[in-house]
Structure 1
């Protein structure tokens, strides 16, 4: 039993930070329905890698945004739409166990309205996780791959934990946790990531330092 626990935790060292909340509330072998807001960058494949029984529904402006044919085949459903239009009638209500919205709202001028319009898609008791650059990101050094908020010219608004808590409470959600994202497993792996980035890209991406320097904030809430 002890050896199994050690092996499981070593295997989970590589778990992407945005999946930590899923890992806490859903087991690897558990079937649950996820609505992933921002389904590019091979998100479907990454999600199914760690949660193979997850029913994956993705939302994005473009289906092909850094997605391969494999990614597209792994999506159980995909909704191609502009979030800012708030037209979500094609997405079923009271259907999802979790909504994941990692590094999306900073690209939206009306992110709080988008959140309020998406909450009805959750089942009662469903979870919503939102991750975004915090105010501290405006003070960090500029670096390729984004370390300062203004490194990405598609960032259009800075959100705060208090604002998002109030938004979620007004949408019949109870905040569970929020604050600066500090993934200590990521920090532990920092030397390996530095080496990997140098070999793979020829430079170290700014995102490697997010946990160490407190670039991102998050909120986690449950629908009543």
Structure 2
């Protein structure tokens, strides 16, 4: 149930070090490559959905981006990121929220999600996610969504996941979004196992249409 998500993820981030979780990346290379392909200005608004304790905001700050927001259901995870960033974190907006219930109060030029959508296995939660994305992403803006590919794991962190190919993600987002890139790759976990991921990059039409 959605109400159990904060407790579950606070427990994960309370009991495991950053480097101990399967999705840890010291440098999120594929996400960075796709972000760079968007050619965004340094003042573009970037939202990292399900950020956890990801190193992505660190790297974006190093690259000169000035409007970064991180959202996660776990206050513990975001506090860990805030502590790690130190003084640099003053320019980052921290949002503790369940993405399946979040109502955006600002718009973004780039929505980034690495391994969050695939935890939303209920149709109503995935629909709520897509609606939040459509409310948040500006015309001409981008959505970068990645998760387990169809050949990837069926569970992660003790939870079932819903694996998806790029076509399924495109259907979820709707006809306002064009698929620009789709790549599969193996993510090597800290324990040495391999997880098959799919990365997608979408752009929203410059004129808002219907839901799709």
- TM-score by shorter chain over 0.5: yes
Aligned length: 171
2:60 paired residue number? 47
Listed as ranges, the matches of 1:94-173 within 5 Å are 95-109=107-121, 110-137=125-152, 148-170=153-175, 172-173=176-177
CA contact (8 A) 1:165 1:219 kept: no
Residues 221/76 of structure 1: CA separation in 2 closer, same or farther (3 Å cut): same
2:83 paired residue number? 69
Matched, 1:178 2:190: no
Q: Any stretches of 5+ residues in structure 2 without a counterpart?
A: 1-26, 206-212
1:37 paired residue number? 49
TM-score normalised according to structure 1 size: 0.65
Which is higher, the Rg of structure 1 or of structure 2? 1
1:205 paired residue number? 192
Q: Deviation per CA, 1:131-156: give whole Å up to 9, x if none.
A: 0001111xxxxxxxxxx333532233
**Distance across 2 between alignment mates of 1:42 and 1:218:** 16
**Distance across 2 between alignment mates of 1:216 and 1:17:** 11
Structure whose residues are more often strand by fraction: 2
CA contact (8 A) 1:48 1:74 kept: no
Aligned with residue 84 of structure 1, among 74, 86, 100? 100
**Distance across 2 between alignment mates of 1:15 and 1:78:** 19
**Distance across 2 between alignment mates of 1:218 and 1:30:** 23
Structure whose residues are more often helix by fraction: 1
TM-score normalised according to structure 2 size: 0.68
1:9 paired residue number? none
Residues 104/156 of structure 1: CA separation in 2 closer, same or farther (3 Å cut): same
Q: Deviation per CA, 1:36-73: give whole Å up to 9, x if none.
A: 10122243223323x22241111111233142513372
Deviation at 1:88, TM superposition (A): 1.1
